[in-house]
Amino acid sequence: MLQVSVLRDNTELVLAGLAKRHYKTAEADVSAILNLDQRRKQLQTEHDQAQAEANDLARQIGGLMKSGDKAGAETLKARTAELKQLTKTHSDELVQVEEALQQTLYKLPNVPHSSVPEGRSADDNEVVREVGTKPELPATAKPHWELIEQYDIIDFALGNKITGAGFPVYKGQGARLQRALINFFLDEARNAGYTEIQPPILVNEASGYGTGQLPDKEGQMYHSTADDLYLIPTAEVPITNLYRNEIIAPDQLPVRNAGYTPCFRREAGSWGAHVRGLNRLHQFDKVEIVQITKPEDSYAALDGMVVHIEGLLQKLELPYRVLRLCGGDMGFTSALTFDLEVWSAAQQRWLEVSSASNFETYQANRLKLRYRGDNGKTQLLHTLNGSALALPRIVAALLENNQAEDGIQLPEVLHSYCGFSKIG
């Protein structure tokens, strides 16, 4: 959530940033926020003045009563009653104005970093670098949805039977590969200095608002209405919310956490090759890395997170590329996002497997997540997160890129984790 002070002091810069996102109602929303903020300050001033006058009259009434001037005291009592009603009216309106201000602030996305390129869609994203050699497969090569059927390692029909489309059942070597990847990713995160967290996979509404999934992505999350809890779309939500309403000591920064969770997303997309098989699911496994830093350290931290994710892909021997997302393709809460994509040799296209983002103070302002600076004043921190990594498309690329007539050869780094070197 953007700070009102930032909107007030840097209005033109904010509007220019929101224009880069192609946010159509930016001027109207920013104007509404500034007007509500002005009304809030006016009401607060009038409320405080009325309260101060009432307090002063109370002292005068006591003196008049002692001196026997009951008529004068009654006159002041009448005025005090008027002031009491006035302060109540101010208080009631103040609650309404503050609620309207909060809800309008929730509507505004984050302002993009200056390095974010112009653009409206994924076609306009900037390729930062491409690493690795794309494998050349024979004409008989199969996409992963045919390979998983051939080797009986993932069953979509069974998942559909017990739950519905987009909920696969992993079996045998497929289940062991899932577990191997999760353990590999967690071990690599721990070796990089991240503390492992195992958070709940259901969160309350406050947590959804804290990291920005609510109200923006309400329709994309599974909602348990009886308990008003949400199944998490990513471990970012519970792990970052561990620090909601906290003041972190400077010597505890940066906070670096990692966690594995299943993730749940209702939007599985339309039918077609681009969403077949493991390309898009309602439930999937992911290891997430989260950092909380001082503002001056956050962009170096983001670069480090991208390097960490690249290291995982290199050890998995997958060709990949790093993209800097354009303004029109960025997530609602992000100030700068790098996507990492792996090459799917059988599908002949790039598959997104990770997003690493710096949210600057956007989430921290919602979370009231702060630290105390050298001047003794509390300041908002910066929050970051990245997928390290999401499993489905990693598995798809591993299966497709490494297929041969006698099975699927796995990268060496996974052999000890799996307990086998080849599927089939």
Q: What is the pLDDT of residue 142?
A: 97
- Please check the confidence at residue 274 and state whether its pLDDT lies above 80: no
> Which tokens hold the place of 175?
């289940």
288 is in an annotated binding site: yes
Helical packing angle, 298-315 and 173-191, nearest 10°: 140
Report which of residues 210 and 375 the model is more confident about.
210
**Neighbouring-strand partners of residue 323:** 127, 339
Q: What is the pLDDT of residue 269?
A: 52
H or E stretch covering 76 = helix 70-107
Question: Of how many residues is the chain composed?
Answer: 424
Residue pair 305/291 in contact (Cβ under 8 Å)? The answer is yes
27 is in an annotated binding site: no
pLDDT tens for each residue of 359-389: 999 999 999 999 998 888 999 999 999 999 9
Report, at the CATH architecture level, how domain 4-107 is classified.
Answer: Orthogonal Bundle (1.10)
Report which of residues 62 and 325 the model is more confident about.
325
381-400: average pLDDT: 98
Band (pLDDT 50/70/90 cuts) for residue 272 is low
234 is in an annotated binding site: yes
Helical packing angle, 26-67 and 70-107, nearest 10°: 160
Task: Write phi, then psi, for 404 (nearest 5 degrees).
Answer: -145, 175
The dihedral built from the CA positions of residue 33, 37, 38 and 42, taken in this order, carries a sign that is positive
Task: Write phi, then psi, for 370 (nearest 5 degrees).
Answer: -140, 170
- Please check the confidence at residue 270 and state whether its pLDDT lies above 60: no
159-178: average pLDDT: 97
Band (pLDDT 50/70/90 cuts) for residue 318 is very high
115 is in an annotated binding site: no
Tell me how far CA of residue 339 lies from CA of 83, 181, 293, 330, 356, in angstroms.
58, 20, 21, 10, 6
Q: Write the single-letter amino acid at 284.
A: F
296 is in an annotated binding site: no
User: Considering the chain, what is the average pLDDT of its residues?
Assistant: 95
Q: What is the pLDDT of residue 275?
A: 81
Tell me how far CA of residue 233 lies from CA of 296, 307, 413, in angstroms.
29, 24, 28
What's the rounded Cα separation, in Å, for the pair 364 and 244? Answer: 8
188 is in an annotated binding site: no
351-362: average pLDDT: 98
> What are the residue boundaries of the structural domains of the chain, listed by start?
4-107, 122-423
Q: What is the pLDDT of residue 252?
A: 96
pLDDT tens for each residue of 4-23: 999 999 999 999 999 999 99
> Which tokens hold the place of 238?
């519970």
Instruction: Give the three-state DSSP class for 404.
Output: strand
- Please check the confidence at residue 309 and state whether its pLDDT lies above 60: yes
* 400 Cβ contact list (under 8 Å, min separation 6): 137, 141, 142, 143, 144, 147, 344, 345, 346, 347
Q: What is the pLDDT of residue 264?
A: 97
**Neighbouring-strand partners of residue 338:** 324, 356
Residue pair 155/169 in contact (Cβ under 8 Å)? The answer is yes
385 is in an annotated binding site: yes
298 is in an annotated binding site: no
What's the rounded Cα separation, in Å, for the pair 384 and 292? Answer: 6
- Cα 410 versus chain centre, distance: 32
Counting Cβ atoms within 10 Å, is residue 273 exposed (0-12), middle (13-18) or buried (19+)? exposed
* Percent of the chain residues past pLDDT 70, beyond the cut: 98
236 is in an annotated binding site: no
321 is in an annotated binding site: no
Strand 370-372 relative to strand 247-248, pairing: parallel
> Exposure pattern of 41-58 as b/e (b: 16+ CB <10 Å)?
eebeebbeebbebbeebe
Q: Please state which CATH number belongs to domain 122-423.
A: 3.30.930.10
Q: In what order do the strands lie in the sheet with 378-380?
A: 247-248, 370-372, 378-380
> Which residue is listed with tokens 């409206």?
120
197-221: average pLDDT: 94
Q: What is the pLDDT of residue 273?
A: 56
Residue pair 181/395 in contact (Cβ under 8 Å)? The answer is yes
Lowest mean pLDDT among 67-76, 106-115, 365-374: 67-76
